[in-house]
């Protein structure tokens, strides 16, 4: 008997028929003798409907009241799932975040979980019940309803799994696992059976949309084994078969993992680049340029400063595309005149491609193969950044698909079976 947390996304909860399917799947786990906690999202479209009503009333809604409104979506879907489980003959009860309670800080619409009381959940499990806990929400020290922000149900599920020391946290979603890259770009992309936590973190942060990055960080912090699998398989699929589907995100870096030097190709179009040409090269110039950007709570991703020529240098950095206009404005009004740059060149037509793999730690020459592959395709590399287990390059966005396909092939991700 294992203690398992299931998380179901909005698409999986998208209709009463689908909710009944979720109940059938949970019932199968329960019948096999497992203790199950289920964390459902709101029915798909519901959160957008609620936020739409709020925006009809005011363009600048207060966070506290937005959370009051948005939290109702998960509460309703949790109650509906409890009814569906009861219809399957399962003793089930739903709990809102405040009833557990799931304690958070007071940062409305993007709160962080600070503590989860396991007593009520464990008592209900011991009473033979399936326990449903609303995802996405909690309660702050003042007793106010909070939400974790978009995609927060993943984080809720992982945090609950950590709190009750679950054996595994299963994230059921509309894809069947983590792929070597996006199958829409590379049709021969292969589902990984296993990926290391650190690789998953890089894949998630670099644009692989399967899991919310905060949930992966949480899983890493508390060493919760995560499995991503499809909610679209038949709910009565044999349990052993279901467990072999999907992708396990593991903390065990054993022999099997080392076989794959590069595990996947991640990419994102959410980048934008700003180049400042002819910046007088004085000490403190990086801070002079980027300090105000950081003050505006804008994350900077890649940074490159060229070799100084004649006392001036070219300085480039990237930000999330959502922040692009704001950063361009900060540069124009505050920075370019202040640091005396000759010219600013903003560029939205860029994309970032990354190779990710824990094997890169111990294998040399990986980045070279990446650069060679791109050169062979005549793709110019604008910026490079590296970490222990990934190498990222910024390229012109029209070459993105070509680059991903070429790298996927060059690192033999299409055919290489994982060592298992």
Q: Which residues bind its own copies (CB under 8 A)?
A: 16, 19-20, 50, 53-54, 56-58, 61-62, 64-69, 71-73, 75-76, 78-80, 82-84, 86-87, 93-94, 96, 98-99, 143-145
Kindly state the smallest distance separating residue 135's Cβ from its own copies, in Å. Answer: 14
Measured from the CB atom, is 140 or 154 closer to its own copies? 140
54 vs 369, beta carbon nearer its own copies = 54
In the complex, the smallest distance separating the C-beta of residue 145 from its own copies, rounded to whole angstroms, is: 7
CA dihedral 6, 7, 11, 12 (to 10 degrees): 10
Phi, psi of 279 (to 5 degrees): -90, 125
Q: What's the closest the beta carbon of residue 133 comes to its own copies, in angstroms?
A: 12
Apex CA 296: angle with CA 294 and CA 302, to 5°?
40
If we measure between CA atoms, which residue out of 160, 134, 154 comes closest to residue 67? Answer: 134
Q: State which residue, 38 or 260, has the beta carbon closest to its own copies.
A: 38
Give the position of tokens 């009004």: 333
Burial of 116 (0-12, 13-18, 19+ CB in 10 A): buried
**In the complex, minimum distance from the CB of residue 71 to its own copies, in angstroms, rounded to a whole number:** 7
DSSP 148-180: --TTHHHHHHHHHHHHTT-SEEEEEESS-S-BS
Instruction: Give the closest residue to 392 by CA, choosing from 203, 192, 215.
Output: 203
Residue 65 beta carbon to its own copies: minimum distance, rounded to whole angstroms: 4
What phi and psi values does residue 38 have, to the nearest 5 degrees? -115, 135
Structure tokens at 273: 């680049």
Q: Which residue has the tokens 């190498």?
A: 391
Complex with its own copies: residue 73 or 264, whichever CB lies closer: 73
- 17 or 310: CB nearest its own copies: 17
Q: Between residues 52 and 280, which has the closer beta carbon with respect to its own copies?
A: 52
Q: How far is the CB of 163 from its own copies (least distance, A)?
A: 18
Helix ranges, 173-308 (H)? 197-205, 213-222, 239-244, 255-258, 285-295
Query: In angstroms, what is the minimal distance from the CB of 51 to its own copies?
Result: 11
By beta-carbon proximity to its own copies, the closer residue of 86 and 306 is 86
- Cis ω before 278 (30° cut-off from 0): no
Nearest approach, Cβ of 148 to its own copies (angstroms)? 17
Q: Residue 31's CB: how many other CB atoms inside 10 A?
A: 12
In the complex with its own copies, the residue whose CB is nearer, 52 or 311, is: 52
Three-state secondary structure call for residue 312? strand
Q: Given the complex with its own copies, which of 56 and 310 has the nearer CB atom?
A: 56
Q: d(Cα 378, Cα 204) in Å, to the nearest integer?
A: 28
Q: How far is the CB of 50 from its own copies (least distance, A)?
A: 6
Task: Write the burial class of residue 274 (CB in 10 Å: 0-12 exposed, 13-18 middle, 19+ buried).
Answer: buried
């Amino acid at each position: 008997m294992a203690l398992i947390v299931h998380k179901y996304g909005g698409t999986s909860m998208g209709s009463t028929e689908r909710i009944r399917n979720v109940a059938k799947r949970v019932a199968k786990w329960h019948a096999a003798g497992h203790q199950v906690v289920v964390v459902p999202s709101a029915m798909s479209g519901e959160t957008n409907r609620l936020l739409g009503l709020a925006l009809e009333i005011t363009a600048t809604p207060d966070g506290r009241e937005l959370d009051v409104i948005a939290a109702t979506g998960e509460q309703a879907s949790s109650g509906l799932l409890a009814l569906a489980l009861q219809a399957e003959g399962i003793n089930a009860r739903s709990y809102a975040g405040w009833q557990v309670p799931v304690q958070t800080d007071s940062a409305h619409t993007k709160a962080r979980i600070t503590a989860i009381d396991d007593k009520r959940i464990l008592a209900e499990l011991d009473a033979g019940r399936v326990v449903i806990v609303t995802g996405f929400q909690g309660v702050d020290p003042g007793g106010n309803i909070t939400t974790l922000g978009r995609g927060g149900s993943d984080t809720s599920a992982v945090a609950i799994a950590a709190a009750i020391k679950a054996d595994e946290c299963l994230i059921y979603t509309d894809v069947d696992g983590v792929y070597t890259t996006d199958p829409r770009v590379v049709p021969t992309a292969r589902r990984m059976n296993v990926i290391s936590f650190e690789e998953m973190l890089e894949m998630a942060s670099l644009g692989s949309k399967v899991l919310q990055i905060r949930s992966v960080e949480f899983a890493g912090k508390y060493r919760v084994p995560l499995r991503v699998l499809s909610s679209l398989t038949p709910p009565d699929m044999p349990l052993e078969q279901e467990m072999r589907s999907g992708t396990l995100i593991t903390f065990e870096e054993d022999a099997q993992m080392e076989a794959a030097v590069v595990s996947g190709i991640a990419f994102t179009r959410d980048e934008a680049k700003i180049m400042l040409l002819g910046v007088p090269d004085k000490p403190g110039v990086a801070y002079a340029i980027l300090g105000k950007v950081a003050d505006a709570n804008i994350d900077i991703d890649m940074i490159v400063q060229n070799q100084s020529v004649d006392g001036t240098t070219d300085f480039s950095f990237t930000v999330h595309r959502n922040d692009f206009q704001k950063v361009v404005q900060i540069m124009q009004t505050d920075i370019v005149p202040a640091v005396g740059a000759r010219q600013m060149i903003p560029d939205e037509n860029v994309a970032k491609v990354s190779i990710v793999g824990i094997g890169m730690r111990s294998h040399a020459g990986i980045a070279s193969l990446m650069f060679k592959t791109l050169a062979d395709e005549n793709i110019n590399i604008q910026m490079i950044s590296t970490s222990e287990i990934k190498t990222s390059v910024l390229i012109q966005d029209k070459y993105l698909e070509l680059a991903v396909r070429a790298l996927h092939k060059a690192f033999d991700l299409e055919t290489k079976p994982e060592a298992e």
